[in-house]
Structure 1
Amino acid sequence: MFYNYLKVALRHLLKNKGFSFINIAGLTLGLTACLLIGLFVRDEKQFDNFIPEGERVYRLYYKITNNEGVSNIATTPPMFTTALQQNFPEVEQTLRILNIPSKVLFQTDSKELYEEGGIFAEPTFFNFFPLSFKYGSADKALVTPNAIVISQSMAQKYFGSENAIGKEIRLDKDLFRVTGVFQNNPKFHLPVTYILPLAATGLSDEQLKSWDWYSFHNYVKLKREVNSSILERKFQDYTRAFIKDKRTTYLPLLQPLPQIHLYSAAFKYDIAVRGNITYVRALSLIAVFILLIACFNFINLATAKSLQRAKEVGVRKTIGASRSQLIAQFIGETLLLTFISVAISLAFTYLALPWLNNFTAKQISFHPVSNPFTLLFWLGLTLVVGLLAGFYPALVLSGFQPLKVLKGVALADVGPGKIPWLRHGLVVVQFTLSVLLIISALVVITQINYLHQKDLGFNKEEIMFFPMRGDNLTNNYETFKNELLQVPGVAAASVGYGFPGDMFGDGIITVPVQGEQKSLKATQVMVDYDYIKTLGLQLLAGRDFSREYKTDTSAAYIINETAAKELGFTTPEQALGHTLLWPTWRKPDLIKKGQIIGVVKDFHYKSLYDKVEPAVLHIYPQAYWKVAVKLKSTDIGATVNQVKEVWDQFAPDYPLEYTFLDQSFATMYKAEDNLKSLLGIFTAITVFVSCLGLFGLAAYAAERRRKEIGIRKVLGASINQIAFLLSKDFVKLVLVAIFLASPVAWYCMHAWLQNFAYRINMGWWVFAVAGVGSLAIALITISFQAIKAAVANPVDALRSE
C-alpha cells in the first residue's frame, strides 16, 4: 500500500513539473527564510545560559526620572554592593566592575597593539561568571594587583600556542603578569577580552564608598528562594537617605541576568552586548508569517490543480477506494513534496549561514544531520508543515462524488468551487501580511535614512579624532595642535573632552535668575578655543571663546539652546551675562564661577534615540583627552599620513589610533541598519511567496471558467474584457487586504517610532505606496493567467459540447 502511494505520488509530481516546481520553490523559500530567522532568534535567546544558577544573579541599575523624562542607567555607585552585602542577609555575593572605556596599548616582546574590551573586576567575578579556563585557575586569577586574565584569542595573538601563564604584558606604563587564560564565549553578555583586578585602579576606600559616583556595573547573587522584588523595595527605601539630588528620582532596580542581553536596548552607559527583544519578536512573527503563507500557497495551488484530478478520484472511488485511503494518498503526496522542500531548504540554509553570520557578526552553527535532536526536529517540521498544507486539499479531493465527475457534471459543482470563501480568505490573509510587511519596511527604511541624513547641528564629515597618548603630548597639546595646523590638508583642530559620538560627563549647574537659584543637570563639554569652529557649531547669541579674553579660561561658559530654555530664558540673548556655577570634577567642593558668554544652536552629540539634553561648553584643560582634526576634502589619505608624522614627533612610543566622526555615528545605528536590510529581504520573500498563492488561485479561476470564457469569446468579448473579468475579483481581495493591514501596520510602526526622540511622521504616502505597489504586484501576477485564458482558442474549451 505504502509503495503504491509513493509510486503514484512520484508519477504525479513528475507529470506536473510546473506545478511541482512552483510548490517546491514556494515551500523551500519559505522554509529557508523561516530556518534562518529561527537560528538567529535561538542564538539571541542563548546569552548567559551557560552560567549555572544564573537565575540568582541580578544586575543593579538606576531608573532615573526628572524633567527630561524617564531613563535607565546601567551604572550605579560602588557603595551599592557594600551596602547590600553588609545590611541585607538575602545577598550571598556581590561584584563590582569598572569599565575601561578607551583602547589601551598592549606591549610584549614581539607585539604592540591597541586593545579594547577591558574591565577592572573584583575577585568574585569568576564566582558569578564561571568562564572556562584554558590555562590557570579562576580561584586565584584576580588576587594580586598586577594580575591580568586574558581571553584565549588574545593569548593566541600575543603568545601563539605557548602557555601564557606568567608572561608579562605592559599596559601603557604598567606591567602585568598573566594569571589566567579564559576561553572565548560568544554567548556572554560582557564582551571582555581582558580583566584586571579592581585593586589595580588604585582607588581609595573613600572613593569606593561613594554614593554619587555612577560609574560601576554592580551585580548581586541572591540566596536561594529569596524574593527579588521584596529585596528590591527594601533596598530602594534604604538608598533614599543617601541621594543628595532631590530634583531627580533615582530608583535602584534589579535586572535578572537572563534579561540583560535582550531587554537593555534603551539603557545608557551600558557595556553589555545588547540585542533587542522587539526586533527578535518582530523577526519571529515574520518567520511565522512566511511559513503560514508558504502553507497557504500549497493549499491554493493544490485546490486549483484538483479540478484536473476529479476524474482520477471518481475512478478510484468506483473501483473501491475509501475516502480515508484517498486522504492518506493525497497527504502522502504533500509529505513527499514537503520532505523534498525541507531537504533543499536545509541545504540552502547551510549555504546562507556564513552570510548571516557575517551580516550579524555572530558565530551561529548549523548541523542538521549530526545532531539527533536537530534531525528529529526537522522530521517533525516536515510532518507538521505537510499536514498543515495538505489536509484541506486532501479533504476536498477525497470528497468528489464519482457519479457526477464521471458523468461530466460541471466541476464547479463537485468540490472546490462550493466553498470559495476559504481560498479567498487565504489570499486575503496572505496579502494582509504582505501589505503589513511592506508598510513596515517602508517606515523602517525611511526612519533609518532619516537618522543618517538629519542635520545634527554640526559638520561630521571629514573630521578625524583620536585620544592623546603619553605625557609629552598631553603636556604640550597646544604645540601639537599648532603643528597640525601647519599641515596643508588640515582646516582646523581642537582638543577637548566630549566630542559628538564619544564619551560625555555630566554635573549639576546653578544659575541665579531674578533672585532664584535655578539648578539643572547638564552635560559637560570640555572644549578649547577652536572647538566650535572645528565642528561648525552655530552661535545663536553672544560670542565664541577667544584668546583675547584672559578670563575665558576660568570664568566663561557657553550653553546650548535647550539649557537656555530649561533655565527659563525665553530667548538666547536673555541668557547672556548670567552667572553660572559648576562644582569641578576633580574637587567638587571647588566651584567654578563664570558668565554665560554665548548660546549655541542645539547639536546632537548623542544618538537620535535621545533628546538633546542641556549642555554646557567651557574650557577645562584637566579633562582634555581627545583631538579632533578637520580635514580638507582634497587628498584625505595624504593628509592622514602627514598627521601621523606630526604625531610621531610628540608620541613616538604610541601608534596613532584614529577614527572618523561620521563612522562613530554610523556605528550607533548598526542594529537599525541590519533590521532595515533583514526586513527588506524577508518582505520581498513574503511578497514573492504570496504571489505564488495568488498565481494558484488565478489558475484555478481560469480553469473553472474555461467554458464560460470560450462562450464569451465566441460572442465577441475582447481580450481586455476577459482579462478584466478574471482580475476584478482578485483586486477586491487585495483591496480588502490593504484595508485590514493598514491600521495594524500604523499601530505597530507608531509604537516602534516612539523609541526615537527624533522621528519621521507616517504620512499617507506610505500607505498609498504600499497599496498601489501591492495592487500592481497582484495584477502582474494575475495577468499571466488572465491573458493566457483570454487568448486561448475557444474551440478547445467548447469541443466537448
Structure 2
Amino acid sequence: MKALPSPKKLLKFLKWFCKPEYHPDIEGDLLELYERKREKHGEEKARWALLKEIILLMRPGIIRSLKNSQTLNHNGMYQNYLKVACRNLFRQKRYTVINIGGLAIGIACFVAIFLYVTHELSYDRHFDNIDRIYRVYTHEKSGEEYLGSAYYATIPLPLAEAMMTEFPEITHLTSMEEHDVLLGNERHHYLENGLWVDTRFFDVFSFRFLQGNPSTALSHPESIVLTRSLASKLFGNDDPIGKNLTRQIRQDIKVFTVSGIIEDPPANTTFRFSFLAPLQSHIYYRNSWDTSNAHTFLVLSKGATAEAIASKMPDLLKKYQKESLWTNYHQEAYLLQPFREYHLENQVNNDIGLKGNPRLVSTFSVIAVLVLLLACINYMNLAIARSMNRAREVGLRKAIGAVRRQLIWQFLGESILLSFVALLVAFLLLAIFLPVFAGLIERPIEVDLFENRLLLPGLGLLVLTVGLLSGSYPAFFISGLRPVQVLKGKLTNISMGRRFQRILITGQYAVSIVMIICSLVIYAQFHFMQQREIGYDREHIITMRLHDFPSLEKYRVMKSTWSNNPNIIQVTASGHLPTNITSNSVINYEEGNTDNPLVIYRTNITDDFLAVYGIELVAGKDVSPASADAKNTLLLNEKACQALGWQPDEAIGKHIKHRGTVIGVVKDFHMLPLKHGIEPLMLRMSDQAWLEYISVKISPEDIPGTLSLLESTIKQYSNFPFEYSFLDDEFDRRYKADLTMGKTVGFFTILSILIASIGLFGLVVLALDQRTREIGIRKVMGASTLSLVSTLSQDFLRLVIFGFLAAIPIAWYLTDWWLNDYAYSIDISWWMFALPAFAVFTLAFLTISSQSIKAAMSNPVECLRQE
C-alpha cells in the first residue's frame, strides 16, 4: 500500500484551499492534534487522522473565494517591479554598464552572424517550385578525382533531351552554359557575364519580366534578354526592345536583337548574369553524347522522387547511347540534387554561379551561439555575485507575503528589461561594424526590418531568450533564499551559487581560449601557404587575360614592342596561370597501350614561360619557337615522370600518343592550391590556338608607366577591356576563403575575450566589495599589499588555468580536423597553446590585480567603518 503524504504536504494542501484569515489558527490546531495522535497511536494513524480533518474542513465557510481573495493588484505589483528594476540600474551604474555592454556585444555579434547565415540559407528560395527543382550531375565511379572530387556538374546535352522525353515525372527541364562576352552598341561596349540557355529556361526559373514575353523571348537564335541594369547601361532611358547589340566571343561577332527585359536577379540568387542568350547560338555549342557541357536543371512533378529518376538512368543510357559509350556508364552515374542545396554545395567540379561555403556557415553559427552564451554567462555571474546585496530585499518581500513565483518573475523581468536595453545598444554597434563585416564576407547584409520579415519577430524572440537564459539561474537561486536565514545573515545557498559561478567562469575562459587557438592556427596555416616554396616566382609579374584571338595573333608583335622597354624583363603567354592549372586529360605512354591510362593536368605555353616564372628545368631543354617541330614538343613535371615510371633523363625523347615528344622535365611546382597535392603535369608548346593569358615580368620601377604601355599596346589589337592583375594578388585570391575565415574568427575571438574580461572585471569588483571587512582586518593584522593582491587574485586565476586545461583537448581536435582538409599543412605546436594561455592569463591577471591593488592600498579604518 502506498504511504500517505507527509504532514508537510497535507498542510500545504490546506493552505491552498483555506481562507488566509483562518489558516494560521486552523493549521496550529491541526498540528496539535497530529502530535497527540502520533504519540498515542503512531505515525500512520496520526497521518490518517490529519487527512480526515483536512477533508472535513473543505466546506463553503472555510474554502477561499476566488472573487474575494486578497491578492495583490497585478498592475501595481508589475509597476513596483519596474520601478525597482530601474532604480537598481541607475543606482549601480558600473554593473549596469558592464551587463549592458557585455550583452550588447554578444547580441550584436549574434545578429550580424544571424543575418549572414539567413542570407546564405535564403539563396534561390524566391523561385517558384523551389522544393521540386533539381540539378543533374555526374559521379565518376572509377575513383579518379579531379581537384579533389569525383563529382561533375555537366552532362551531355542529348542526355538532357532524352530525360525530358522519356521521364513523365519531369514537368520542365532546361540546360545552360556560362560565358563572358563583349556586348555593345554604337555608344558603349561592356564585358558581361551571361547565361546561354534553351527556350525552356523560364519554365524552370521564374524571373520577373519587365518587357517581353517569357514564352517567346528566346525562341529566335539571335534574340537576347537583358537585365534592367544592363539595359540601362547600354540604352539609357531609350526603349531597348527591338534594338540590336553586337556580341563578340573571341573572333566570333554576331548581331543580337533585344527581345526582353527582366528584373535584376536578387542578391540571394546563385546565378549571376546580366543577359540571357539562346544556347544554340553559343560559339561552343555541342549537341553530342561525347561532350559533357550542359548544366541541366529540372522540375519534378508532385510525388516524384530523385531516387526514382536516378534508378531509371541506366536503361535510358542503354537505349539512346552507342554501345561503345554505354560501356562507359559502368564508370559513371547520373544523380539529382535538390536545388535548394545548390548554393552551399562546393564539392562538385565545374559548377556555375556564386557558391557559398558550408564550412563558413556552420563555423559562424557556432561562433554566434558561443559569443552570445559568453555574454549571458557574464550576466549570470554578476547576478550571483550580487546575491548578497539582493538577499535582504528578497527576505523582506517574502516576509510581507511575496511568494517565490512572483520573485522569479521579478528577476526574469529585470533580465528581459536589461536585454531589451542591450538590444538598443547592439543596434548602435551594428550601425558601425556591420558594413565592415559585410565587406569582409562579401555579402550584402544589412538590418532591414521591412525587407526581412523574420528579423523583427526574431529580435523579439532573441531578447526574450537572452533574458530568460541569462536571468534563469539567478532568478531561481535568489528567489529560493529563506527569509529567516536572510534576515539573520545566514545564507546557506551562497556556497552553491559560488560553485556554479566558478563552473561558468571556467567554461567562459575555456571557450575564449579555444577560439584564440583556432584563430591562431588558421593564421599560421595561411602564413604557411603564403611563405611555402611553391616552385615558381610570383613577385613583380603582371598577368593579363585575353578574350579574343586577334591579340594572340599579334602576340609576337606586342612582345617585341614591350621588350624594348627597360622596365619589362620578359614576356610569355599560356593557357593558364601557374597558380591554377585545372585542365586535364588522359594519356597513354606507350603506342597502342590502352590498359594503363594516366590522368594528367595540362596547359599550353609559349617560349619564356619557365623564365618568367622561374621554374627550374631538371632535365632536357626548354620549348622554343625556333624548333622545326615546336608545336609537338612537351615538358613534363617530375610527378608525371614518376607516374609514368620514368626517370627525368629517361623521359627525354619519349613520345606521348596524340600529344607530342617530351623534350624536358621541370621541377615540381604547386599549380593548384595547397589543399591539393602536386599532380602530374604536361606543358605543351602552343601554336597560339589555346592561349588566354599574357604574363609580363617587370621591374619595380615606374609600375604605372609600365601598365600604361601594356594597356595602350593591347588596345591596338583588342576591343575587349584591358584586364590585369599581379600574380601575387592572384595567388592570394586562391586562399581568400581561408583568409576570410581567419579574419572573421579572429575578430569574434577578440570580442569573446573582451566579453570575458568585462565580466571578470565586474566579478572582481563585486568580490572585493563583499570582502571589505576581510581586507581591513588583514591590513590591521599586518598583511602587505603584495600578499593581499596574491590572496585576492589566486581564486580567479586558478579558474583561468582550469579553463585552459579544459580547452586543450577541444582545441586540438578542432584544429586537427580543420587542417586535415589540406594536403600540405602546418604541424600543431606547443606554442600555439602556450601563447593564447599566456595572453589570456596575463589579461586576466591585469584585470584582477588592477582592482586588487586598489583595494589592498585602501585605508583599513575606512574599510572597517564602511563595513
TM-score > 0.5, shorter chain as reference = yes
Q: Which sits farther off after the overlay, 230-239 or 777-786?
A: 230-239
Q: Within 5 Å, give how 1:92-107 maps onto structure 2.
A: 92-100=171-179, 103-107=180-184
Q: CA deviation at 1:760?
A: 1.9
From 220, 237, 240, give the equivalent of 2:298: 220
Q: CA deviation at 1:484?
A: 2.2
From 714, 718, 732, give the equivalent of 1:666: 732
Q: CA deviation at 1:665?
A: 2.4
The answer as to 2:254 corresponding to 1:174 is yes
| Residue matched to 2:14 | none
Question: In 2 relative to 1, CA 674–161 (structure 1 residues): closer, same or farther, beyond 3 Å?
Answer: farther
Per-residue CA deviations over 1:647-666 (Å, capped at 9, x if unaligned) read: 24434x44433333223222
Q: Which sits farther off after the overlay, 594-603 or 630-639?
A: 594-603
**C-alpha separation between the residues in 2 aligned to 1:321 and 1:517?**
88
Question: In 2 relative to 1, CA 468–366 (structure 1 residues): closer, same or farther, beyond 3 Å?
Answer: closer
Per-residue CA deviations over 1:445-503 (Å, capped at 9, x if unaligned) read: 12222333333221222222334455543333322322222222211111231223467
| Residue matched to 1:209 | 288
| Residue matched to 1:302 | 383
**C-alpha separation between the residues in 1 aligned to 2:455 and 2:723?**
45
From 412, 425, 430, give the equivalent of 2:508: 430
From 112, 115, 121, give the equivalent of 1:39: 115
Larger radius of gyration: 2
Q: Which sits farther off after the overlay, 728-737 or 275-284?
A: 728-737
**C-alpha separation between the residues in 2 aligned to 1:343 and 1:650?**
59
Where structure 2 has 5 or more consecutive residues not aligned to the other structure, the ranges are 1-76
Query: Does the 8 A contact of 1:54 with 1:258 survive in 2?
Result: yes
SS at match of 1:230: helix
| Residue matched to 1:512 | 590
Question: In 2 relative to 1, CA 428–55 (structure 1 residues): closer, same or farther, beyond 3 Å?
Answer: same
Question: In 2 relative to 1, CA 655–363 (structure 1 residues): closer, same or farther, beyond 3 Å?
Answer: closer
TM-score calculated relative to the size of structure 2: 0.84
Query: Does the 8 A contact of 1:37 with 1:287 survive in 2?
Result: yes
Q: Within 5 Å, give how 1:60-209 maps onto structure 2.
A: 60-64=136-140, 65-66=142-143, 70-100=149-179, 103-115=180-192, 117-172=193-248, 173-184=253-264, 185-201=266-282, 207-209=286-288
Q: CA deviation at 1:17?
A: 0.7
| Residue matched to 2:22 | none
**C-alpha separation between the residues in 1 aligned to 2:733 and 2:274?**
20
Query: Does the 8 A contact of 1:80 with 1:218 survive in 2?
Result: no
**C-alpha separation between the residues in 2 aligned to 1:239 and 1:440?**
49
Q: Within 5 Å, give how 1:517-532 maps onto structure 2.
A: 518-532=596-610
Identity value in percent = 32
SS at match of 1:795: helix
**C-alpha separation between the residues in 2 aligned to 1:236 and 1:396?**
66
The answer as to 2:436 corresponding to 1:355 is yes
**C-alpha separation between the residues in 2 aligned to 1:519 and 1:715?**
88
SS at match of 1:218: strand
From 699, 709, 712, give the equivalent of 1:632: 699
Look up the equivalent residue of 1:260 and give its one-letter code.
Y
From 92, 95, 98, give the equivalent of 1:19: 95
| Residue matched to 1:586 | none
Question: In 2 relative to 1, CA 203–703 (structure 1 residues): closer, same or farther, beyond 3 Å?
Answer: closer
Look up the equivalent residue of 1:252 and give its one-letter code.
Y
Look up the equivalent residue of 2:713 and give its one-letter code.
V
**C-alpha separation between the residues in 1 aligned to 2:427 and 2:195?**
41
Query: Does the 8 A contact of 2:588 with 2:594 survive in 1?
Result: no
Query: Does the 8 A contact of 1:513 with 1:578 survive in 2?
Result: no
Question: In 2 relative to 1, CA 83–397 (structure 1 residues): closer, same or farther, beyond 3 Å?
Answer: same
Q: Which sits farther off after the overlay, 46-55 or 85-94?
A: 85-94
Question: In 2 relative to 1, CA 428–572 (structure 1 residues): closer, same or farther, beyond 3 Å?
Answer: same
Per-residue CA deviations over 1:629-671 (Å, capped at 9, x if unaligned) read: 22222111101111223224434x4443333322322222222
| Residue matched to 2:371 | 290
Query: Does the 8 A contact of 1:66 with 1:247 survive in 2?
Result: no
Question: In 2 relative to 1, CA 242–550 (structure 1 residues): closer, same or farther, beyond 3 Å?
Answer: same
From 678, 681, 687, give the equivalent of 1:615: 681
From 238, 248, 256, give the equivalent of 2:338: 256
Q: CA deviation at 1:682?
A: 0.9
Look up the equivalent residue of 1:66 and give its one-letter code.
G
From 629, 640, 645, give the equivalent of 1:563: 640
SS at match of 1:419: helix
Q: CA deviation at 1:63?
A: 2.9
TM-score calculated relative to the size of structure 1: 0.91
Q: Which sits farther off after the overlay, 82-91 or 522-531?
A: 82-91
| Residue matched to 1:311 | 392
| Residue matched to 1:574 | 650
The answer as to 2:410 corresponding to 1:329 is yes
How many residues align? The count is: 778
The answer as to 2:709 corresponding to 1:642 is yes
**C-alpha separation between the residues in 1 aligned to 2:174 and 2:329?**
29
Q: CA deviation at 1:517?
A: 6.6
Cα RMSD for the two superposed structures: 2.7
Look up the equivalent residue of 2:512 and give its one-letter code.
S
Q: Within 5 Å, give how 1:241-252 maps onto structure 2.
A: 249-252=331-334
Query: Does the 8 A contact of 2:576 with 2:692 survive in 1?
Result: no
Per-residue CA deviations over 1:681-702 (Å, capped at 9, x if unaligned) read: 1111111112223233333433
**C-alpha separation between the residues in 2 aligned to 1:93 and 1:716?**
89
**C-alpha separation between the residues in 2 aligned to 1:782 and 1:129?**
60
| Residue matched to 1:7 | 83
| Residue matched to 1:443 | 521
Where structure 1 has 5 or more consecutive residues not aligned to the other structure, the ranges are 582-590
Query: Does the 8 A contact of 2:210 with 2:263 survive in 1?
Result: yes
**C-alpha separation between the residues in 2 aligned to 1:687 and 1:430?**
9
Q: CA deviation at 1:153?
A: 1.4
Question: In 2 relative to 1, CA 39–654 (structure 1 residues): closer, same or farther, beyond 3 Å?
Answer: closer
Question: In 2 relative to 1, CA 632–747 (structure 1 residues): closer, same or farther, beyond 3 Å?
Answer: same
**C-alpha separation between the residues in 1 aligned to 2:316 and 2:840?**
59
Q: CA deviation at 1:297?
A: 0.6
Q: CA deviation at 1:515?
A: 8.8
Q: Which sits farther off after the overlay, 296-305 or 692-701?
A: 692-701
| Residue matched to 2:358 | 277
Q: CA deviation at 1:260?
A: 0.9
| Residue matched to 1:697 | 763
SS at match of 1:491: strand
SS at match of 1:650: coil
From 374, 388, 407, give the equivalent of 2:469: 388
Question: In 2 relative to 1, CA 237–702 (structure 1 residues): closer, same or farther, beyond 3 Å?
Answer: farther
Q: CA deviation at 1:505?
A: 2.8
Per-residue CA deviations over 1:347-384 (Å, capped at 9, x if unaligned) read: 43244433333333333342347977643332332222
SS at match of 2:215: helix
**C-alpha separation between the residues in 2 aligned to 1:245 and 1:743?**
50
Query: Does the 8 A contact of 2:528 with 2:825 survive in 1?
Result: yes
Query: Does the 8 A contact of 1:303 with 1:700 survive in 2?
Result: no
**C-alpha separation between the residues in 1 aligned to 2:281 and 2:594?**
45
Look up the equivalent residue of 2:839 and give its one-letter code.
G
Look up the equivalent residue of 2:522 and give its one-letter code.
V
Q: CA deviation at 1:28?
A: 0.7
Q: CA deviation at 1:563?
A: 1.0
| Residue matched to 1:721 | 787
**C-alpha separation between the residues in 2 aligned to 1:66 and 1:322?**
70
